[in-house]
Structure 1
Amino acid sequence: MNELTLEIANAARKAFQSLFANGESYYYCTLFTTGEGHEPYISAWSWEALEREAENPTTWSFQQGQSNRSTAERKALIKWSYADSPYYCVGEEHFQHLKALFQARPFDEEEWHLRIEAMVLAMEMLDQEGLFTLNQARESVCIVVEVMPPDEMNTQIAKRLNKADSSALQAWLIEAAE
């Protein structure tokens, strides 16, 4: 698992570092995978991106007949959505080598749990390095490892990766937790 954790951490580090170079203040950073345990990718939301997307008439919420909603309602719809973020799969080129690594491994339920644990350990490693404090205070960003479609384990992982009294975690638990 050490090799897998390190490979995931290296890819995620590069992707988040390139994203954070934009100087925005992030409140949500996720490393996500599918229920089938495919290679992970990152997504994130910054306060600046949320504001832009909620006001942008070309975002998904407007396209789905939501244009009559207030900006606050539109923000609430997309605030914690990894898939609706403009930073969905940002830096995916850093994860391409993981596809072959994941495909070369035998897959069963035990392997699936091992992959999730490797992702969590990778995010813990990046957190200990201070990566998530580059543009914001650590307690103001909720970091998560998520399985899509959403699974209850996402909540357990979020609680593991963030301090219990973190305002970002508390908001995520109220607004997005499974």
Structure 2
Amino acid sequence: MDMCTEKDKEELVEALVTAAGAAFLSLKETTQEHFYFYVFVFDEGMHPYISAWSYEALEKSIKEQQITDEDKSWWKWDSADSPYAVYGYDEFFGEVGTLLDQRASKLSDDELYETEWEVRIELMEEAMKRLDTFGLFGTGKERECVVINVEQAPPDGDGAEYDRALRLNPPSALLSEYLETCETPEND
């Protein structure tokens, strides 16, 4: 059962928007690279962080890690192996951490790892929607050259990332390519 109010949720969404927005913007401005993938990641540590891939970082990583042609298609989307995984966490996510810890203190372990887990992912998705509405990931044709998502680590395996990607992105060839690497939803 969710023990937090709508006001609590909105406060957390705003903190997520502020933190992720600042981290993504800092990453773009600092690197001056051409990003095609922005992802908000939630892992078993219960605190979200960002990751991203640019074409420049991908090319460099493929060479340095000696990624085979066979593995390039999934490597391109592997948020954990991006050199920008957890970018700006210490700098931008302090308030988010405080709010999440406050929420967790009101919950049992069962509530935390069941209901609250889902709530946090939903709020992260809402934060990405708002950042997209602000134009952080581009607009028009520029936006079609970018994929955004909320992922959980390890992957959920139930197709939720696939569904979130469909909700968060306009149709594009790049989105189709990304979806090929996602677990597909169960057919009902």
Q: In which range does the TM-score fall when normalised by the shorter chain? A: 0.7 to 0.9
> Could you report, residue by residue, the CA deviation over 1:23-57 in whole angstroms, capped at 9, with x for unpaired residues?
211111100101x471210000011111111112x
Question: In the alignment, what sits opposite 2:121?
Answer: 116
TM-score when normalising by structure 2? 0.80
Residue 36 (structure 2) pairs with residue 27 (structure 1): yes
> Could you report, residue by residue, the CA deviation over 1:123-153 in whole angstroms, capped at 9, with x for unpaired residues?
000000000129x811111100011111221
> Could you report, residue by residue, the CA deviation over 1:71-109 in whole angstroms, capped at 9, with x for unpaired residues?
x34533521111110111111121133222112113413
Question: Structure 2: which 5+ residue stretches go unaligned?
Answer: 1-8, 184-188
- Matched-pair contact (CA < 8 Å) for 1:54–1:75: yes
2-structure distance, mates of 1:25, 1:133: 11
Bigger relative contact order, structure 1 or 2, given CA contacts below 8 A and separation 6+?
1
Cα 1:112–1:26 shift into 2, 3 Å: same
Computed over aligned residues only, the root mean square deviation of the Cα atoms, in angstroms, reads 1.8
TM-score when normalising by structure 1? 0.84
Question: In the alignment, what sits opposite 1:87?
Answer: 84
Question: In the alignment, what sits opposite 2:4?
Answer: none
Q: How many residues align?
A: 163
Question: In the alignment, what sits opposite 1:177?
Answer: 182
Question: In the alignment, what sits opposite 2:164?
Answer: 157
Once the 2 structures are TM-superposed, how far is the Cα of residue 111 of structure 1 from its aligned partner? 2.1
Deviating 4+ runs (over 4 angstroms): none
Q: Which moved more, 1:111-120 or 1:80-89?
A: 111-120
Cα 1:177–1:74 shift into 2, 3 Å: closer
Mapping for residues 1-178 of structure 1, pairs under 5 Å: 1-21=9-29, 22-34=31-43, 36=44, 38-56=46-64, 59=65, 62=66, 69=68, 72-73=69-70, 75-93=72-90, 94-105=92-103, 106-107=106-107, 108=111, 109-133=114-138, 137-151=142-156, 152-163=159-170, 165-174=171-180, 176-178=181-183
1-structure distance, mates of 2:86, 2:123: 19
- Matched-pair contact (CA < 8 Å) for 1:9–1:123: yes
- Matched-pair contact (CA < 8 Å) for 1:38–1:99: no
